[in-house]
Each structure stands twice: as structure tokens, then as C-alpha cells.
Structure 1
């Protein structure tokens, strides 16, 4: 009898968790709707925000993010002389997955950086974007390199900001390892979606920015509740969990790149250490230019946006001058 009662309580708790998670997700979508265009790309939904006029620049956000990370500052700083398009990467923000079946709770597979780049490249073509400068931050850096590796003639240049570009020796954080497993991927996202509080999110945000401060207004602009949707949590964890093997495969092709590559990385970045990623990449790619920012952490595009804007300007000059 006690066993049946305990089972009933457990099932009731699970049901309440799912109901609460769904309610909070609806509120997140109402509070942070798409602020750009929703494109249909081969039956897939892609969210794009475009501002400005001029040569094309594509912006790809990092893990857990969305276009709002770019529209907080960088889009406005570039839109005065470029046509800037920020995309939500697949599974995050308001962009769907690259193929059916990836949202299920009991799965481990997900889209590779190359698959993400292919979908967003097709979306860019629908917008009339040709030979863009592709800028990627963090995990978006891996997608930006995949974009260029698979379409070098259609890519003017790459700007890699704190990018994940080389295989790393350290294991992933425990939360990502659990979320990426079958049982963890089913159980943890509903709990986080239902019960994670604002304080927890802001502490996580502060850790991502360390040692730099979180800019005033950033937490409100970025749409933190969007990150806590169950499908987004699973997509993010699985993309991170499978990233190393994709990056290892890509790294064997980095030497093929024959286009301008600008790299900007904070010396104090402990999330994506430059000694593992940007420094080796700069030695492999023939046309790489590396700028290291002393005392700067992972969010270089917010801590020192002028350095990132300057990198885009250099990439444009180099792409148009043949150097």
C-alpha cells in the first residue's frame, strides 16, 4: 500500500513539474517573442534579425544564447556600415532543429556544427546574403568555421571570438554530462525549466562573464527564461556534449582555409581557454590574425566590443583587397 502511495506521489510530482515548466515556457515566449523574421528553410524554422546597409556580416551566438546576445550591443555597433544579420542557432532562441526527432527526451544525438552552418547558410541565401563575413562566438565559432570550411568560395572571411575550435582534454562540466545522457536529458530539463530561479540564472551569467562584469541591462535584454525551456536545455546540452568529436574532425581541415581569419580572445577566458583553442588555430590557418585581450574573459564582444568591431573591419579590408 505504501509503495503504491509513494508511486502516486512521485507521478503527481512529475505531472506538476511538467505543468509548471510548460506554464513558464509560455510566459517566456510571450515576454521574449521573435524580434526579427521567421524564415521557412526547407521546412525548418529559422529566426533572423537584420539591421543596417552595406557588406554582409553574419553573427552566430554561443552556447545557451540567442540573437539577443548580439542585439544587445554588437549589431548596433556594426550596423552603421554593414548589413548585419544575427541568427538563432538550431534548437535555441526561435530557430527549430535541423531535422525531425531531435527534441525527444530520450535521445543523445543532435546537429553538428556543419549541419547548423548548412541550415543557416541556406537561410542567409534566402535573405540575399552573398559572401558574408561570418562571426561566431564560443560554440558559434565552431559553426562559423564549419560554414567557411564547407563553403570557402561563398565566405568572405571569418571572425572567431573566443571560439571553440580545437579538441580539448578536460571533461565537460557535470551538468552538461548529465543533461547529455538519456536519463539525465529526460529528467533534468523539466526540473530546471520548472524551478530554476532568477538568482541562479544571474549567478551563472556572472560566471560566464568573469572576470568582467555583466553589463547593466544585459540580463533583462538576453531573455534568460528562453534558455530554460526544456527543448532548449536539451539541444544546448547535446550540442555541447557532442561538440568535441566534431571539432576534432574539423581541426584536421583547418589548414585548408585560405580566407582571412581574424581571432579575438580574452587571455583570462577559462571557459574556452585560448591556449587550447585560439593559439593553436592561429598557427594552423595561413591567413589567421590573432588579437589577445589582457585580463578579459569569455565574453570579449561585450567587454571589448571595439576590438571585435575592429576585427570585422580588418576582415572586410582583407577580403576586399585580396589580403
Structure 2
């Protein structure tokens, strides 16, 4: 299996290869590299697509220690080093967007452009933190089945793929799942620094996203100097790239052809 060794962690990744512009996809919380399958299918050949599993997720091997999304941004930059890639376009969903923003702040010369899908630049309000605390506790005490009825609808909102992702959760230790949610709760506010990110950016947001409401996507559109568009996906919840790929892939392709 392909792993990148970064500061003692073994980051699992998949790389389509090729000579096209490099696009690195970073998944959301409790997801993994497989969430990007519809985008890789559409883009491979024209673009060199790289997907990876972040700490506490998927096949990546780490020590399970608490970390921040600044640390995760360092993991992404380390992955680029491993691949010998000087600059890439970063596509991030939810927490994948958190780390992509921080990578752009930490090493702007490594970022060609950004695509931010249902993500935000602010810390969570107390109501969201209380909800996430209950989810983390549910994972620890009862495992995935204890939280699945509410959480799958919250994250996906498309019953046809709920079982697939429930199986993914069953393949992970319950403590690892709980720790991943705990890391999510600790995201810091970087909204005051968005003006520092001058790279072209495409914002994509589900119209009916509950975990990260649409106004937070609109904030990114308004405050990122390089924002070229906000694509609102009608009827979509928190994960439109997975649930509504037909409405996401076209604008994504157009943006990448112009800016990657």
C-alpha cells in the first residue's frame, strides 16, 4: 500500500499519476479518501488526483494523539514533499477545508488554488460543541450504532449510502472515532486571516447544510480575496460532492481548468 512517512506517521494515499496539474483532496470528519470517488472518476486523466486519509481516519497509521488542524496542514505539506510536488490545488471538504485553509496560510507558495466544500473559517458555537460532545460520547460508550441514526442523516442526508459509511465506521475502533470528533471540536477561528489568502478559490456549499450552515460558506466567498464563485447546491446537505456529484463536478472541472 502507498504510505507517506511524515514525522513518524504513515499517511495512506492514492495517486492517479500522470502529467496533469496536481489536485489533492482532503476528506471531512469521519470520512476517508473514498468519499472522493465521484470526483476522481471525473477528473483522472486530465488531472493528477491525490487522495489521502487524515490522522485518526481510514488506513493512516498514527499514534492517536490529540492534534490540531494546523498539524494536519503540516501532514498535507509533508505528503506533497513525499510526492515531490512543489505546488498543488487543494480541495477540502469540511475538516479537509479547515486544514487546506491552514496550509494556504502556513505555506502559500505551495498552494495553486483552493476548492472549499461545506467548510468554514470560524470556531464552533456552543450548541454545535454540545452536539459533538454527545456524538463523541456515543461513539465511546455505544459505538457507531449508538450515533448512526442521527449522525448519518446530519452528514449525508441520503439514505441510500448510509449503510456504506456505517460499515466504514464499524471498521474503526470506537475510541478512534470519538477522538476524531474531539479534534473537530477544537478547531480555531482563522476568519480574521482570510484576507492573507490570495489564491483563486471556489466555494461549494450545500443549500441545506446543517452542521456548517450556508452563511459560513458565504463568509468565505466574501472574505477570500481570490474567491471566484460560490456554488450553492440545491437540496444538498453537508456532503454535496458525494451526494450530488452531478451538480459539483461540472463547476469543479471548470474551475480547475482555469486555475489549477
Q: Do both share a fold (TM > 0.5)?
A: yes
Local SS of the residue matching 2:12: strand
Q: Tell me the residue number matched to 2:32.
A: 66
**Aligned with residue 42 of structure 2, among 67, 77, 94:** 77
How far off is 1:285 after superposition?
0.8
CA distance in 1, matches of 2:150, 2:242: 17
CA distance in 1, matches of 2:76, 2:201: 20
Local SS of the residue matching 1:63: coil
How far off is 1:168 after superposition?
4.2
**Per-residue CA shift, 1:57-79, capped at 9, x if unaligned?**
101110111112223x2222221
RMSD value over aligned CA atoms? Answer: 2.6
Q: Tell me the residue number matched to 1:4.
A: none
> How many residues align structurally?
258
CA distance in 2, matches of 1:68, 1:226: 14
- After superposition, residues 83-232 of structure 1 pair within 5 angstroms as 83-97=48-62, 102=65, 110-172=66-128, 174=130, 176-178=132-134, 189-193=139-143, 196-197=144-145, 201=148, 204-210=151-157, 213-215=158-160, 219=164, 223-227=168-172, 229-232=173-176
Deviating 4+ runs (over 4 angstroms): 215-218
Change (3 A) 1:70 1:43: same
CA distance in 1, matches of 2:174, 2:23: 31
Local SS of the residue matching 2:171: helix
How far off is 1:174 after superposition?
4.1
Change (3 A) 1:51 1:215: farther
- After superposition, residues 12-31 of structure 1 pair within 5 angstroms as none
Q: Tell me the residue number matched to 1:299.
A: 239
More strand by proportion, 1 or 2? 2
How far off is 1:93 after superposition?
1.1
How far off is 1:171 after superposition?
2.0
How far off is 1:38 after superposition?
1.9
Q: Tell me the residue number matched to 1:284.
A: 223
Alignment check: 8 A CA contact 1:68 1:222 kept: no
Alignment check: 8 A CA contact 1:58 1:135 kept: yes
Alignment check: 8 A CA contact 1:264 1:290 kept: yes
Alignment check: 8 A CA contact 1:165 1:251 kept: yes
CA distance in 1, matches of 2:186, 2:92: 18
Alignment check: 8 A CA contact 2:154 2:238 kept: no
Alignment check: 8 A CA contact 1:68 1:221 kept: no
CA distance in 1, matches of 2:17, 2:246: 18
Larger CA Rg, structure 1 vs 2? 1
**Per-residue CA shift, 1:247-295, capped at 9, x if unaligned?**
x1x21111111110000101111121011x1111111111112111222
How far off is 1:305 after superposition?
1.6
Alignment check: 8 A CA contact 1:69 1:222 kept: no
Q: Tell me the residue number matched to 1:234.
A: 178
Change (3 A) 1:272 1:217: closer
**Which ranges in structure 1 are unaligned for 5 or more consecutive residues?**
1-35, 103-109
